[in-house]
Structure 1
C-alpha cells in the first residue's frame, strides 16, 4: 500500500495500524514534504536537540510510527542518501515522539 503520509499528513493513521495488524507493508508517498513554516521551525528545534537534520527526524518518526512502514525517500546526492540512511539509527525518546506527534495535529497510536 502506498499513500501520501508523513509527519504532517497523517490521514492514514488508522489504515497504517490496520495494515500493521495484518502484516501488510505501507510505503509513505512524499515522506519529507508538506511542512508549514511553523512546523518546519519546530522540527528544526527538535532536530538540533537530537544533533540530527530535520529530515532525519522526519524519517525516524516514520520508522518509529509502525513496524510495517517501508521508506523510499528520494535523493539527488550521495550526501543526502547517507543522511537518510542515518535516520534509521536515530532513537527518538518518548517525549520527543510526543512532541513530534503534535506537529501534524493528529495523535498517533504509537
Structure 2
C-alpha cells in the first residue's frame, strides 16, 4: 500500500505505525489470513505480533480498500503453471 497521508492519519489515530495499519487492513478482510511479513530484528517481530490487537473501524477499512483499489494498476491473477508442468 505504501506510505500515504490517509494511512499515516489512520496510524496516528490508532497510535501505531503505517506498516501495522497495512497488516491490520489485510487481517480485517479475513481472520484466517496468514501474514508473513519480513522481520529483521526483535523490534520488528514485536511490532508485527502487536497487529493482532489492532482493530480498524469499518470506515477505515472502506477507506483503505478504496486506496488499495486506486493504486492497483492491473488485476492480480494467480500464477499459472506451464502446461508441461501439470
- TM-score bin (small chain): 0.7 to 0.9
Q: Give me the whole-angstrom Cα distance separating, in 2, the residues matched to 1:45 and 1:76.
A: 26
Q: Give me the whole-angstrom Cα distance separating, in 2, the residues matched to 1:74 and 1:59.
A: 12
**Over the residues paired in the alignment, what is the CA RMSD in angstroms?**
1.5
Aligned length: 70
Mapping for residues 71-90 of structure 1, pairs under 5 Å:
71-90=35-54
Q: Give me the whole-angstrom Cα distance separating, in 2, the residues matched to 1:58 and 1:89.
A: 13
Q: Which has the higher strand share?
A: 1
**Alignment partner of 1:69: what SS?**
coil
Give the TM-score, by structure 2 length. Answer: 0.72
**Larger of the two Rg values belongs to structure:** 2
Q: Which has the higher helix share?
A: 2
The one of 58, 64, 67 equivalent to 1:94 is: 58
Superimposed CA distance per residue, residues 27-80 of structure 1 (whole angstroms, 9 cap, x where no aligned partner)? xxxxxxxx2xxx522211111011111011110111111133101111111111
Structure 1 segments of 4+ aligned residues over 3 angstroms from their partners: none
